[in-house]
Amino acid sequence: DGSRNSLDVLTNIIKQPLKNHAKKDGKKASGSTFPLTRPLICICNDQYAPALRELIKLADVFVFTAPKDVRLIARLRQVCKSENLTISNSNFISELCGATGYDIRASINNLQFAALKSSQEKQRDAEVLSGGQGAAKSTTWGSQFGPTTTSVASKDANDKGLDIG
């Protein structure tokens, strides 16, 4: 969160020795901490922020560039295909990526949210059709998803970018 205390805690965890020598009579001494034995991954938008100077000295820094718009859209289509999600609006993924500023994490998160909303809407619709007490279907990003099963013809059309609703 960028506060000084959380950064101090992180740097203290990283600086711990690999072996905990603070044992007394086979028991852990009070106040001793255990060393970090797994990778610690921190994500930031500005690696040159003054608050991060101490942490950066202790870390391996990986800088990633944003993917091209076309590549992100193609990858999200591939994710939808592998998750058996069909999209009724052929422009939906492009619109989603544009709404997130082509940010990979935000696009995937919003795609997951939309798929979940679609699943919930389908469940509500099934309840309404079966006479249950479901809420009326609302128009959300979740409603952009079609049925999860596709025929061979519609699958081929989707691969070519055609909209078969």
Cα separation of 36 and 51, whole Å?
A: 22
> What radius of gyration, in Å, describes the C-alpha atoms of the chain?
24
Highest mean pLDDT among 32-41, 46-55, 116-125, 142-151: 46-55
Tell me the pLDDT tens digit for each residue of 85-128: 888 788 899 999 999 999 888 999 999 888 888 777 777 777 77
pLDDT score for 107: 92
Look at residue 74 and tell me whether its pLDDT is greater than 90. Answer: yes
* DSSP output for 34-68: PPP-S------S-TT-GGGHHHHHTS-----PPPP
Question: Is the per-residue pLDDT at 156 higher than 80?
Answer: no
Long-range contacts of 43-50 (CB under 8 A, 24+ apart): 49/2
Integer distance in angstroms from the first to the last C-alpha of the chain?
43
Return the pLDDT at 22: 53
Looking at the chain, the whole-number percentage of residues with pLDDT higher than 70 is 67
Per-residue pLDDT tens for 1-23? 456 788 888 888 888 877 655 55
Answer yes or no: is pLDDT of 138 > 50: no
Region 47-75: mean pLDDT is: 90
Q: Long-range contacts for 99-106 (Cβ within 8 Å, ≥24 apart)? A: 102/66, 102/67, 102/69, 102/72, 103/66, 104/66, 104/67, 104/72
Mean pLDDT, rounded, of the chain: 74
